[in-house]
Amino acid sequence: MSEVRENRVLKAVREGRKAKGYNLTYPSVHTIEILGRLDFDFVWLDGEHGPFGYTELEEQVRAIEAAGATALARVENVQQSTVLQYLDRGIQGIVVPHVSSGEDAEALVDACYFGPRGNRSFGGNRGTNYTFTPDPWGDKTVYYKDSNDNMLVGALLEDQGAVDNIDDILAVDGIDHFGIGPNDFAQGIGYPGQPEHPDVVKVMNELSDHIRSKGKKMSGDIMESVWIHDLLLSSGEDFLND
């Protein structure tokens, strides 16, 4: 039996369906616990913009795992030390913002996977079962492979560089899905505050089509999610309008 939790997003892909989940921009184990009754596949934590300290992050992951879901997170940057802090808390899916070059893509893959695919560091923390693998001081080959097989890696494209260097980015093996952050992308290509501008929409559609034409997947191809604050706001509006 594997010592690594099964990634439910990857499981959904194998089953030919889209994974379902929701996005949290703030720490709330109560929200996770309550919504856990709905059997979501994943919870996506916004570590780039949300107020998640590493201790708080770890508490969210514990609650997500207790609810039977998979913990995913957007991190602040592609630095290996940043990504590792999330993996060491138990996150099994990483999204890095502002991937704009082949070098960024390589750094992302290198940070997320153990060897031989990458260069992730192994530490004695909950993200590696406190080293309680079948043989804590011996051969971890199987554990490394199982961890790699259950790691979901995503790249967020938000800059002109992503457009210019898309083929270099796509040439890097190990990225499961690509997303486009419309607000930052609009700003990155010269249309700040105008994500719905026709020129922006055109470039985003062309970029998405190109990614798919190369046999790669967009995030929306494998999972669907809702921002929890949007859900709460819409529910509040419904209540006030009753």
What radius of gyration, in Å, describes the C-alpha atoms of the chain?
Answer: 18
- Residues 6+ away with beta carbon under 8 Å from 33: 63, 66, 67
Six-digit token pair at 104?
């960024």
All domains of the chain in start order, with CATH: 8-241 (3.20.20.60)
Q: What is the pLDDT of residue 124?
A: 87
Q: What is the pLDDT of residue 134?
A: 74
Percent of the chain past pLDDT 90, that is, above it, reads 86
Six-digit token pair at 153?
């890696």
Cβ 125 vs Cβ 156: under 8 Å = no
192 cis-preceded (ω within 30 degrees of 0):
no
Residue 92 C-beta-side C-alpha neighbours within 13 Å: 27
Question: pTM for the whole thing?
Answer: 0.94
What is the residue-level pLDDT of the chain in tens, covering all 242 positions? 468 999 999 999 999 999 999 999 999 999 999 999 999 999 999 999 999 999 999 999 999 999 999 999 999 999 999 999 999 999 999 999 999 999 999 999 999 999 999 999 998 899 998 888 777 777 899 999 999 999 999 999 999 999 999 999 999 999 999 999 999 999 999 999 999 999 999 999 999 999 999 999 999 999 999 998 887 778 766 766 76
Six-digit token pair at 97?
């913002």
Cα 104–105–109 angle (5° rounding)?
120
Q: What is the pLDDT of residue 235?
A: 73
Distance of alpha carbon 2 from alpha carbon 69, whole angstroms: 17
Six-digit token pair at 26?
């703030």
| Residue (of 234, 233, 208) closest to 221 by Cα position | 208
Residue identified by tokens 């554990």 is 143
Q: What is the pLDDT of residue 104?
A: 98
Q: What is the pLDDT of residue 236?
A: 63
Residue identified by tokens 């055109």 is 202
Residue identified by tokens 């669907």 is 224
Cβ 116 vs Cβ 94: under 8 Å = no
